[in-house]
Amino acid sequence: MSQYVDDDRTMPRFRVNRRAMTDPEVFEKEKELIFNRSWLYIGHETELKKPNDFRTRNVAGRPLIFARDAKGQIRVWINSCPHRGAMLCRQPSGNARFMTCFYHGWSFSTAGDMVSMPGDASYGPDFERPGLAGPAKVDSYRGFVFVSFDHDIVDLPTYLAGAKEYIDLVSDMSEVGMEVLEGTHEYSCRANWKLLVENSYDGYHAMSTHQRYFEMVVAARGSLDAGAVLADSRAIDLGNGHAVAAGSAGSGSIFGRALSPEAEAEREARFERLRAKHGNAWVDRLNGSRNMVIFPNLVIIDLVMGVVIRKIDPISPDYMEVTAWELAPPDEGEELKRQRLDNFLTFWGPGGLASPDDVEALETCQRAYASAGELEWSDISRGMHKPTVATSDEFQMRTFWRRWNQLITGEELPPEEHEPLPEFWRAPRLELATEESVAAG
């Protein structure tokens, strides 16, 4: 048995040793064996609308420049001058043809080429003028841009595995392509980063932790049968440590305040147009909810009338920083957009009615881990014995932990066996649906 994971299929029981949340040696292993060897999210292409736009981001502890060069190509550079190491870009975002180091004045284009250096003649004609350095790999899928610092990592589509399908579901919600809205949620949490990974697709905590939010929803709607919605849901292993907690058709909006008749009509009209393109079954899935974690630290949540992109950055064993954005359809009307944003901001973010609850819960967990010598294990067993697993079970977290354990210890645990997914959860995306296929669903 791994010193960190107890995966007992006989009882059945699944436990995680709390040292995985507190031990500095574990944290150092995570940096080397997970974050240095995975594909990691840096940003969405729509954040860089014009040539020479840039954003600065930290990924796996490294300062990076996320940019679109003068020809429109997405680029990622290490935010460090090759001369003496000073940061080139010290602003979070901007637009500039050249990036000039304030220390000694070396200047580079957004394509990474050196364009000037003061006293150039002092270096001699044969001196190699260095350009900017970048990560080992940069690639994107449906506008989501990833980097990896591992030259030998598998290609991005292979790494994403079944997560590609759920990125498709999110990306297909617009007829013209989804875009990240201006504005960023930034907050921190004094807890281990893996606790927020678990929390991000944990349906079990929703009603108890977010009671005040659901009281507001019930008051606004008149009623809310959340139990039925959670029962008609699935937790799904997407491969390579990725997993999703997915809800059935209509579950994405039921947990928020109801839309006005006009806004609902506009939303339904867009879905009808999407049915003509992708088929009824795919759009029924699209009209559901999904809380997905792409291993190790990217969260994509489509719930409460908005899509959250959340990047979790481990800083120390008991401290993380969180950055989040909203992905939205730019082709919706102003009134629908207003009502969606109102729902989104009421629930999400450091000023919402839900995220502060989660931060408080995770920080109390971390403080309680001071007693890990007396209470050594956390239990993540819910649903192991069931033929099907819902979002209120903990299968999705066990999927994460089995991959984590494999990378940290080398021990590969067998996958968990449950009944095959019903047809609804397997409906394919159609590029161009015929009239007959739309009618058939």
Q: What is the DSSP letter of 24?
A: H
Confidence band for 230, pLDDT divided at 50, 70 and 90: low
> Are the CB atoms for 54 and 67 separated by under 8 Å?
yes
Burial (CB count within 10 angstroms: exposed 0-12, middle 13-18, buried 19+), residue 319: middle
Confidence band for 433, pLDDT divided at 50, 70 and 90: very low
- Asked if residue 214 has pLDDT above 90, the reply is no
> Are the CB atoms for 378 and 15 separated by under 8 Å?
yes
Q: What is the pLDDT of residue 70?
A: 97
In 3D space, the residue among 135, 106, 248, 195 whose CA is nearest the CA of residue 400 turns out to be 195
pLDDT (tens digit per residue) in 127-186: 999 999 999 999 999 999 999 999 999 999 999 999 999 999 999 999 999 999 999 999
> Are the CB atoms for 304 and 256 separated by under 8 Å?
yes
CB half-sphere exposure, 438, CA atoms < 13 A: 13
* C-alpha to C-alpha distance for 330 and 320, rounded to whole angstroms: 31
β-partners of residue 295 are none
pLDDT (tens digit per residue) in 241-271: 999 999 988 887 778 888 899 999 999 999 9
- Asked if residue 285 has pLDDT above 70, the reply is yes
Burial (CB count within 10 angstroms: exposed 0-12, middle 13-18, buried 19+), residue 58: middle
* C-alpha to C-alpha distance for 358 and 199, rounded to whole angstroms: 7
Alpha helices in 279-428 (DSSP H): 280-286, 334-347, 355-368, 395-409
* C-alpha to C-alpha distance for 47 and 182, rounded to whole angstroms: 8
> Are the CB atoms for 286 and 173 separated by under 8 Å?
yes
Q: What is the pLDDT of residue 276?
A: 93
> Are the CB atoms for 76 and 134 separated by under 8 Å?
yes
* C-alpha to C-alpha distance for 238 and 163, rounded to whole angstroms: 6
pLDDT above 70 covers a percentage of the chain that reads 96
Q: Position of tokens 């020479």?
A: 52
First to last CA, the chain: 47
Confidence band for 217, pLDDT divided at 50, 70 and 90: confident
pLDDT (tens digit per residue) in 300-313: 999 887 899 999 99
Q: What is the pLDDT of residue 226?
A: 65
Domains of the chain: 40-141 (2.102.10.10), 162-440 (3.90.380.10)
Tokens representing 44?
């969405």
Q: What is the pLDDT of residue 432?
A: 57
* C-alpha to C-alpha distance for 46 and 144, rounded to whole angstroms: 9
Q: 85-99, 153-167, 340-354 — which is least confidently predicted?
A: 340-354
> Are the CB atoms for 184 and 323 separated by under 8 Å?
yes
pLDDT (tens digit per residue) in 28-58: 999 999 999 999 999 999 999 999 999 999 9
Mean pLDDT across 393-418: 97
In 3D space, the residue among 264, 356, 273, 348 whose CA is nearest the CA of residue 307 turns out to be 348
**Nearby residues of 268 by Cβ (< 8 Å), 6 or more positions away:** none
For helices 261-278 and 334-347, angle between their N-to-C axes, nearest 10 degrees: 100
Q: 78-82, 89-93, 351-355, 409-413 — which is least confidently predicted?
A: 351-355
- Give the three-class secondary structure for 198: helix
- Asked if residue 437 has pLDDT above 60, the reply is no
Determine how many CB atoms are found less than 10 A away from the CB of residue 174: 17
